[in-house]
Amino acid sequence: MTQTSVEDMSFEQAMKELETVVGQLERGDVALDDSITLYERGALLKKRCEDELKRAEEKVAAITLDAAGTATGTNPLDAG
């Protein structure tokens, strides 16, 4: 079975696979070496999800509103 590169996954794909990995590890029906591999994959998936959530939060934070609360555009993100 070929695994998709974590970097190429959407948030939804990474989250779904992370849930599967966690389920397998929680059941404890995986050999030790496989558990280590699953744990490492899970750590990468977790980071991918966190990075995507942070990116989405930054986009939302950059939205500017007028006095009526209507979106008027976006502020550039701080480059610092």
In a 10 Å sphere around its CB, with 0-12 CB exposed, 13-18 middle and 19+ buried, how is residue 3 labelled? Answer: exposed
Question: What pLDDT sits at residue 77?
Answer: 53
Percentage of the chain lying above the pLDDT 70 cut: 89
Q: Does the pLDDT of residue 80 top 50, yes or no?
A: no
Whether residue 78 lies inside any domain: the answer is: no
* CATH at 33: 1.10.287
Q: Does the pLDDT of residue 5 top 70, yes or no?
A: yes
Segments forming the whole domain that contains residue 48: 9-73
pLDDT band at 65 (very low <50, low <70, confident <90, very high): confident
The C-alpha atoms of residue 79 and residue 14 are separated, in whole angstroms, by 27
